[in-house]
A and B are shown apart, each in its own frame.
Chain A
Amino acid sequence: MTTQALPATAASAQETEHHYHYKSHRWQTFRSYLGLALIVIWGLAPFYWMVVTAFRDVAYTFDTTPWPTHVTMENFQAAFSTSTGNHFGQALVNSVIIGVVTTAIAMLVGVFAAYALARLDFPGKFLILGVILGASMFPGVALVSPLFQLFSNIGWLNGANYQALIIPDISFALPLTVYTLTAFFSEMPWELEESARMDGCTQGQAFRKIMLPLAAPGLFTTAILCFISAWNEYLLAQQFSTAVTQPVTVAIAQFTGALPRQEPYTTVMAAGTIVTVPLIIMVLVFQRAIVSGLTAGGVKG
C-alpha cells in the first residue's frame, strides 16, 4: 500500500492533529456544559428569587442571601387575606373558570376546523389558514374600545359576567387551537383512517373510533397551551373584568398592601409563586409535548 511509504513526518503530523482534535473536543464539551449551566441559570434564577422572597419575612424583603432565610408562611396568608381589599382566592377561582371555559369552547369548535384543514381538500383552504393565522396576530388592544362600548351598553361590565372575559379570549384562543391542532393532525398516520374506511367505516366513524384516540396527546397538548394562554391573559381581563370576575393576573397587578403607597413585595411574590407553580408543574410533566406543540409546523419546509 502507498500509505506505508509515507514519510514519518506525515504520521506525526497526523498524531498532533489527533491530539489537537482531542483537546479541542474536550474544550468544546466544557464550553457546551458551561453554556447549558448559563441557560439553566437564565431560566431559573429570577423564578428562584421570587420563591425565596415569597418565603422571607417582610422585614427582610431586600435581604440578598441567595438561600431562604427568615422563612415564614405569613406572605401566603397575607396573599389570601381580604382585609386589604384583595380577593386573591376568588381571583384564582375566576382564572380557572375563564381558562377552562375558553379552552373548552376553543377545542370543541377548533377541532373540526383543524381536522378539515389538515385532512380535507377544499377550495379556499389556504385562504382560511391565512385568515386564522392573521387572526392570531390580531392586536388585542384593537378589540378593547368597540367591545368596551358594546359590553357597557348591555350591562356586562359589572357583576358576575364571565362571558365578558371569555368571549374576547376566544379571539386568541381559537386561532391558537386551530393552528396547533392542524399541525398535530397533519403528522398523524392517516393511512389507518383509510384502512378503517376500506373496512366499511364512514369518515366520521373512522375519525371517532380510530383517529381520535391516536390524536389524544395532540389534543391534550393543545388544550394545555390554550389554557396557559387564557390563564396568562392580562390586557382584555384588565378592561372587561369586575371586582367579582377579576382573574389572577389582574389581581396580582393591582395588589395592595396594608400600608398605602408601599408595595407589598413579599406578598406579591407569594401570590406570584401560587399562580406560577401549577404552570411550572404542567411544564415539567408535559415539557416534551409542550415543546412539540410550540414548534409544531414552525419548521416544516
Chain B
Amino acid sequence: MSTDAQTAPPQQRQKRSPKSLNAGQGRRGILLVSPTLALLAVVILYPLVKAVLMSFQKDSGLDKATGMFVEGGFAGLQNYRHWLLQECQTPTGTTSCPPGSLGSQFYDALFVTLFFTVVSVAIEIGLGLWFAMIMNRTFRGRGLVRAAILVPWAIPTAVTAKLWFFIFAYAGIANQMLSWVGIKPVLWTGDTWPARFAVIFADVWKTTPFMALLILAGLQLISADVYEAAQIDGASKWQTFSRITLPLIKVPLMVAVLFRTLDVLRIYDLPAILTGGGGGSGHATTSLSILVINQIRAGFNSASALSTIVFLLIAFVAFIFVKFLGADVVQRPPGKGKAKRRLLRRSPAPAEQEPIPASLEGSSR
C-alpha cells in the first residue's frame, strides 16, 4: 500500500524478531546523549584540563628575586609546592611563606573548610533526622510544614548571608536575644570562633531542609509492618531507631550526606558575604574556595594549582563515599542485594525500573 511507507517497517521488523522494537537503541542512545556530553566537555572538561595545564606554569609578572618581568614558563611542581609545602619565592630564593601571605593561609583554609564540613554535616544529620521523623509521624499540617521547610532552601545564599549578617550584627536580634538571658553581646562577624559558628549556623539553617526532605522520602518507603513486628518483639524505641530505621534509610541518608559534604567542601557564598572570609586573625572563615578567588588577583597559575587541589580533594571524598560508605548514587540495574529492600516498600513494587539516579538539587552555591 502506498500510505504505509511509515508504518510498514516497524511491522516488518516485528515479524523478524520480537526484540526488534528496541533495535538500534545503542546508536540512538549515544546520539541523544552526545549534545549533553559535548556541552559538558566545553564547560567543565576544557576548563579543568586548562586549569591543570596552567597549574604547571609560572605566573607572569615581576619576579621578586630579580625584579625583572617574567613571561611565565614551565614551573614544574612549584605551584603545588607553594601551597602544600608552603614554599614562597623571595629575593633570597625559596623560603617558607611569611605569615599573612596568601600562601601561608592554605592549611588554615583547609582546616576551616574541613571544620565547616564536619560540624555542619553532623548537625544537619541530627536535625535532619529529627525533622524527618516528626514530619513522617504527623499527617495534619504536613503541607504547611513542607512549605515552611522549603523557604530556607529557596532563598538565594547571597540573601541568606545578608540576612544572617543583619541578625548577627552587633546590635542585631541575636545579641539582643542573648542579652535577655544575660549573655554579653558577641562580635559574631569579628571574632574567630563566633565568626566560624555564624557561618555554620547560617549554613545549617539553609540546608537542613534539603537533608530532612531526602531522609523523609527514605522514611516513607519503610513499611509500617516492620515497626509493628519490632513492637511485637518488644524492641525499645532506641532499638527500633538504631536497628530498623537507620539501616533502612542508610542509602538515602548516605546520598544526602554525600551531596551536603561535597557542597560544604566548596563553600564560598556564605563566608564570603557573611564574614568576608574574615574574623579574628583576618582570615578565620577563609574557605579553600575563597582562598582560590583571593589568589586569582595575584596569579592565575598558582590559583589554578589551588583549585586543582580543591577539585582533587572533592573527588577523593566523593570516591570514599561511593566506594566505602555505600552512597549508591548511580544505581545499577536491580540485582544482587537489592531484592530485600524492594520488599519493604509500602506499595507493591513497581515493575522493574530503569536505575534511577539521585537528584542533585540542593547545591547551595
Contacts and interface: CB of A to CB of B under 8 A. Distances in A.
Interface string B7-44: 10011000000000110011111111101110110111
Interface stretch (A11-19, A71-79, A82-90, A124-132): A124-132
A131 B146 CA distance: 32
A179 B357 contact: yes
Interface residues of A, number: 118
A123 to B, nearest CB: 6
Contact of B341 (A123, A125, A290, A301): A301
B350 to A, nearest CB: 8
B62 interface: no
A104 interface: no
Size band of the B side of the interface? 35 or more
Interface in A252-301: 252-253, 255, 263, 265, 268-269, 272, 275-276, 279-280, 282-284, 287-288, 290-291, 293-301
Contacts of A145: 51, 54, 292, 296, 300-301, 303-304, 307
Given A149-B54, A234-B268, A265-B169, A144 B292 contact: yes
Given A131-B40, A231-B156, A148 B296 contact: yes
Contacts of A288: 146
Given A284-B147, A287-B150, A120 B29 contact: yes
Nearest to A266: B166
Interface stretch (A154-162, A194-202, A208-216): A194-202
B353 A187 contact: yes
A294 B210 contact: yes
A262 B218 CA distance: 47
A252 B158 contact: yes
| Residue from A115, A129, A180 having most chain B Cβ neighbours under 10 A | A129
A36 B300 CA distance: 49
A134 interface: yes
A94 interface: no
Contact of A299 (B6, B145, B152, B214): B214
B198 interface: no
B97 interface: no
A136 B162 contact: no
B280 interface: no
B315 to A, nearest CB: 8
B330 A171 contact: no
A140 B356 CA distance: 25
Interface string B152-186: 11111111011111110101110010000000000
A244 to B, nearest CB: 19
B365 interface: yes
A192 interface: no
A106 to B, nearest CB: 9
Contacts of A105: 39
B54 A253 contact: no
Interface in A211-269: 225, 228-229, 231-235, 239, 248-250, 252-253, 255, 263, 265, 268-269
A117 B288 CA distance: 35
Nearest to B340: A301
| Residue from B137, B138, B148, B272 having most chain A Cβ neighbours under 10 A | B148
Contacts of B25: 120-122
B252 to A, nearest CB: 4
Given A40-B145, A142-B48, A146-B47, A178 B36 contact: yes
B90 interface: no
Contact of B156 (A141, A143, A144, A234): A234
22 contacts: A36-B138, A39-B134, A43-B150, A49-B167, A110-B36, A113-B32, A116-B28, A116-B30, A126-B330, A131-B37, A134-B318, A137-B318, A141-B268, A142-B307, A144-B303, A144-B307, A180-B359, A228-B154, A249-B157, A253-B272, A298-B214, A298-B358
Interface of A: 28-29, 32-33, 35-36, 39-40, 42-44, 46-47, 49-50, 53, 62, 64, 105, 109-110, 112-113, 115-126, 128-150, 167-168, 170-172, 174-176, 178-180, 182-183, 186-187, 194, 197, 200, 202-203, 225, 228-229, 231-235, 239, 248-250, 252-253, 255, 263, 265, 268-269, 272, 275-276, 279-280, 282-284, 287-288, 290-291, 293-301
Interface of B: 6-7, 10-11, 21-22, 25-33, 35-37, 39-40, 42-44, 46-48, 50-51, 54, 130-131, 134-135, 137-138, 141, 143-159, 161-167, 169, 171-173, 176, 205, 208-210, 213-214, 216-218, 221, 251-252, 255-256, 259, 262, 265-266, 268-269, 272-273, 288-289, 292-293, 296, 300-301, 303-304, 307-308, 310-311, 314-315, 318, 329-332, 338, 341-342, 350, 353-365
Given A174-B36, A263-B169, A287-B147, 4 more contacts: A117-B357, A182-B357, A194-B21, A234-B157
